[in-house]
Chain A
Amino acid sequence: MKDCYIAKHPMAASRELDGEMIIMSAVNSTLFTLNDVASLIWKSADGATSLKEIVESRVCAEFDVDPSLAFSDAETLVSDLVKHGLLVVAEHPLHEPSPAERNS
């Protein structure tokens, strides 16, 4: 997969509870739970930051992982979340980052 931009699907509702991210598909009420790395990618899915940048600047900064392996795992995660209708993916930024996102 080439680098891409990811954003939360409007039909997905999510909440971090006690450090654990749970997501519900508003389409079919199915629940999903994310691990720490997946949760960080989910929280970073702002439509303005590329997946590669998310992996390099956030995942690799926080977890002791090999960048190429982390990117490959991130691609698999994105593919799964897109399949379940929880993420949208695009080749170009989906919107400009907000000031808060730019400073985060």
Chain B
Amino acid sequence: MPNVAMSDVQAVVVEIGGTPIRLSAASDSFLHLVRDRYTGFLSSSLHRGMDLAVSVSPGNNSTVEDICVARYSGIWRAERSDFRLDWNSDSKSGKLDLSLNAYSLDAALRILHTLLLAEEGGFLLHAASAVRQGRAFLFFGPSGAGKTTITRLALADATLLTDEISYVRREGLSYLAHGTPFTGELAKPGENISAPIAGFYQLVKASRNRVTRMKQADAARALLESVLFFAEDPDLVKLVFTSVCDLVGQLPVYRLEFVPDKSLWDLIQ
């Protein structure tokens, strides 16, 4: 394989959740994939962001294996058969070696954002989210709970942030939800906007519509089950636990029993 000169390395900046990450690579195919996959989440300034040097390997394209995430001497390593991510939290830079496919890159970026958010009191959540009248509403639950259903039924004045992975960021005492490109069944990226979070709704399919505010401890338990979490690192586990407990003291969390029709949106205030 010929040596790759520095001039052959190009970069593209992907900005999710207001966090720009500069992906540099010598592979045109990879850069094309990034531009195509993250349309709407690309920054026009190539000189911003944390640095992630990417190399592409033929590798294994299997994406079904478990991800192993651990910290060694201050360096995070996330590894699956189709990618390996090394991230230095202090220098805010890292290396990513992956197979050339969007699923591998999505998985690596989700893990990286999980690590970055945890240090700031935020997290990624298995949740659909949408903005209405300047306020964000998040609907969380496992696969099959109705995240895609509720986004399909969204009213015309709602802007979709995601139908699958919500981005929750803490700013002082308030919390913002950001749009993400991470999609579920809808296969439609969210809008790259953010809004203050008005409330969380645990989705429960039922024979009637009803919304009930949850006690804080129940809310924390329910949210913790839906937080995306990969690393078995005790310090990080504590950070996420603390973040969720802080959040339920600030924001309402509801249990939303619903039938799948547009009337359920009448309950979302």
Which chain A residues have a beta carbon within 8 Å of chain B's beta carbons? 11, 13, 15, 17-18, 20, 22, 24, 26-29, 31, 33
Contact = CB atoms under 8 A, between A and B. Distances in A.
A17 B246 CA distance: 10
B114 to A, nearest CB: 14
B220 A15 contact: yes
B221 A22 contact: yes
Size category, B interface: 10 to 19
B245 A17 contact: yes
Contacts of A13: 237-238, 241-242
B215 interface: yes
A13 to B, nearest CB: 4
Contacts of A27: 232, 234, 237
Contacts of A17: 215-217, 220, 245, 248-249
Given A15-B241, A15-B242, A17-B248, A31 B221 contact: yes
Given A13-B237, A15-B220, A17-B245, A29 B215 contact: no
Contacts of B232: 27-29
Interface in B23-81: none
Contacts of B217: 17-18, 20, 22, 33
A26 B229 CA distance: 12
A17 B220 CA distance: 9
A24 B234 CA distance: 10
B154 interface: no
A63 B238 CA distance: 31
B220 A26 contact: no
Interface of B: 215-217, 220-221, 224, 229, 232, 234-235, 237-238, 241-242, 245, 248-249
Given A13-B241, A17-B248, 14 more contacts: A11-B234, A13-B242, A15-B220, A15-B242, A17-B245, A22-B217, A24-B224, A24-B237, A26-B238, A28-B232, A29-B229, A29-B237, A33-B217, A33-B221
Contact of A31 (B216, B224, B234): B224
B241 A24 contact: yes
B244 to A, nearest CB: 9
Contacts of B249: 17
Q: Which 5 A-B pairs have the closest CB atoms?
A: A26-B234, A17-B216, A20-B217, A15-B245, A26-B237
Nearest to B239: A13
B190 to A, nearest CB: 27
Contacts of A33: 217, 221
A36 B207 CA distance: 35
A33 B217 CA distance: 9
A29 B237 CA distance: 7
Nearest to A18: B216
B224 to A, nearest CB: 6
Nearest to B215: A18
A65 to B, nearest CB: 24
28 contacts: A13-B237, A13-B238, A13-B241, A13-B242, A15-B242, A17-B215, A17-B217, A17-B220, A17-B245, A20-B217, A22-B217, A22-B220, A22-B221, A22-B245, A24-B237, A24-B238, A24-B241, A26-B234, A26-B235, A26-B237, A27-B232, A27-B237, A28-B232, A29-B224, A29-B229, A31-B221, A31-B224, A33-B217
